[in-house]
Amino acid sequence: MSAVGFIGLGIMGSGMARNLFRAGHSLYVWNRTRSAAEAFAKELVNEQCGESKGYSSGNAQVHVADSPRSVAGACNVIYSMLSTPEAALSVHLDAERGTVQELGPQKMLIECSTLDVSTMERLSEAVHQRGALFLEAPVSGSKVPAQTGTLIFLCSGDRAAYDRVASSGLDVMGKASFFLGERCGAGTKMKIVVNMIMGSMMVALAEGASLAESCGLSTETLNEILGLGAMNSPLFSMKLPNMISSQYEAHFPLKHQQKDLRFAISLGDEMEQWLPLSAIANEVFKAAQASGFGDYDFSAVVEALRNKKRRPSN
C-alpha cells in the first residue's frame, strides 16, 4: 500500500495511525512533541518485529517527519487529528511549516478533528486554492474505538476524496462512515450535534449519581438498574463506574467535551435554534473545568456537582 501521512498522535490519533500501519500502510507521522512521535514509531515496529529493527517492519515503514509540511510533501493522502481550531490552523496554514505549502493536484487532506464550521471552511478553501482535495471527517468515538478501529466517520466535502479513502483508510479505522454531502461543514455540524447530545446525557447521569449519593443510595445498584431498563446504553455503563470510583483516565478529555458544547451553542445561535439543556450542560462542564478537571475524562463532570454540594453557603 502507498504511504499515508498522519498528523497528531494524541489519544485518538495514535490509535487511528496504528490501525493504518497494521493494515499495511507505511506512515509519515508528525506530532508537536517529536519524542512522542519517535516512541510511537518504535512501538509500531517492535509490535510487528518483536524486537527493535529501526523504523521499518517488512514492507511497512514509519517515518517521523520534521514538520507537517514534510508529511504533505511525502504523501498524497494526509490525515489530521488535532485538538483545537487554533492547532489545526497553525499546523495546516503556517507559511513555512504548514501542510498546505506542499499540497497540489493528486493530494488530499482528510481532517478528522472536531473543529468549528468556520475553521473547516477556511481549511477547505486553502486546500482547494492549491488544487488539492479536502474531506472533513470528524469521528464519533473515543480512545477505545480509535484503538479497535470502530470509529464512525462523519464526512463531507470532495466526493472524490471520500471515494478514494473510504475502503483503504476509513474502513480500516472505523466501523462505519457517512458521506453527508459536498458542502463543507455538514460533517462538522453532525459531529457537533452528536457530541451535544452526549454532553447533555453525561450531565444528566452525573446529576442522578449525585442525587443518589445524597440520598444514601447505592450508586452500584443504580448502575445495575439502569443497565436492565430502557436507559441501558454503552455510555452510561462505561461512565457511571468512573463516577462511582472517582477514577477518570482520559478517554475523551473533559475540556474537549466543553469545547464541543460551546460549538453547539454557537451553532444554535447561528441557526436561531433554542438549546436550553445544552446551555445548562455547558455551564456544568465549565464548572468542572474551572475546578481542575479539564484534562480528565469527561465523566469527571460529576465532580462539579459534588464540589457544588460541598461548598459552604454564604
The C-alpha cell at 30 is: 508528525
Q: What is the pLDDT of residues 156-203, one digit of tens each?
A: 999 999 999 999 999 999 999 999 999 999 999 999 999 999 999 999
On the question of a common fold for 4-183 and 189-310, the answer reads: no
Per the prediction, the chain carries an average pLDDT of: 94
Q: pLDDT band at residue 311, thresholds of 50, 70 and 90?
A: very low
Q: pLDDT band at residue 51, thresholds of 50, 70 and 90?
A: very low
Rounded to an integer, the average pLDDT of 272-281 is: 98
Q: 4-183 belongs to which CATH class?
A: alpha beta
For residue 199, how many C-alpha atoms fall within 13 Å in the half-sphere facing its CB? Answer: 33
Domain residue ranges of the chain, discontinuous segments joined by + = 4-183, 189-310
Active site residues: 191
Crossing angle (nearest 10°) for helices 186-214 and 302-310: 40
Q: pLDDT band at residue 46, thresholds of 50, 70 and 90?
A: confident
Does the domain at 189-310 match CATH 2.40.50.180? Answer given as no
For residue 264, how many C-alpha atoms fall within 13 Å in the half-sphere facing its CB? Answer: 27
In the chain, DSSP assigns E strands to 4-7, 27-30, 56-57, 60-64, 77-80, 108-111, 133-136, 139-140, 151-157, 174-179
297 C-beta neighbours (distance < 10 Å), count: 22
What pLDDT, on a 0 to 100 scale, did the predictor assign at position 225?
98
DSSP symbols for 70-83: HHHHH-SEEEE--S
